[in-house]
Structure 1
Amino acid sequence: MAADSASLLRPILFAASLSACVPCLAAWSIETDRSTPEKHGLFEIREQARRFIAQENARGQEQWDVLEPNAKVLVPRCAVPLRAEWTPKSLGRSKPSVTVICADAVPNTVMRHWDVFVPVQQKPRHS
């Protein structure tokens, strides 16, 4: 009986905690999503993509702008410096993106390494 009441209580607690988070989510932005000892922030992930694109823009004809990574992404803190590269077309992404790569995450129970796709778009050409 205790297991049944606990399983009924979980969805209620989840809904209550989710509604309590609504004001927090309204104030959330990539600018404030910084790394902590447990998670790698989307701000730092986007910054790595921006550094990569700045190098690409400096050497090429095409010019790119970095967009926002998916706000739903949550990854453990990376234990090594992040890398970035163009996302291979073979992965089937419909639009160009940069892959930010963590080759070795801090010890955790979720994942040993990760990669996050950060979309980019071509800058408009000026005549």
Structure 2
Amino acid sequence: MLRSIFFAATLSGCVACLASWSIETDRSTPEKHGLFEIREEARRFIEQENARKHQQWDALEPNAKVLVPRCAVPLQAQWTPKSLGRSQPSVMVICPAAVPNTVMNHWDVHVPVERKLRRP
């Protein structure tokens, strides 16, 4: 009985924690790079592309499951090459040099994009 009460209390605490999480609050720390900053880099890239090529794209949100180490240098962004086999267009946010860690020394995160809806 006590075990089931503990499980229920733990589960409700986890649900409350997940409900309060969002990309807006997922910011970089000394150890990890936040999805907020990754999304913002994709948005900057898309803004430049829209202005340069007179296109209308919106950057969406990166996969919330992504966890990457903090980047030691400024992020870069480019269109994801078609050769990577992605079915939809996306922006690849690239970290060429992560802070020293035991997991990875560089990374890239794909941020999906979609065409803006035109208003009549």
1:97-108 equivalences in 2 (<5 Å): 97-108=90-101
Amino acid at match of 1:124: L
Give the TM-score normalised by structure 1: 0.83
Residue 75 (str. 1) matches residue 32 (str. 2)? no
Partner of 1:25: 18
Of the candidates 34, 47, 57, which is equivalent to residue 50 of structure 2? 57
Amino acid at match of 2:40: E
Partner of 1:36: 29
Give the TM-score normalised by structure 2: 0.87
Partner of 1:87: 80
Amino acid at match of 1:119: P
Q: How far has the Cα of 1:22 moved from its partner?
A: 2.5
Amino acid at match of 1:98: V
**Which ranges of structure 1 fall in alignment gaps of 5 or more residues?**
1-14
Q: Percent identity?
A: 78
Output one character per residue of 1:49-83: Cα deviation in whole Å (capped at 9) or x when no partner.
00000000001132100101000000000000000
Distance (Å, rounded) in 2 between the aligned partners of 1:61 and 1:109: 43
SS of 2:51 mapped into structure 1: helix
What RMSD, in angstroms, separates the aligned Cα atoms of the two structures? 1.7
Distance (Å, rounded) in 2 between the aligned partners of 1:116 and 1:101: 7
Q: How far has the Cα of 1:21 moved from its partner?
A: 2.8
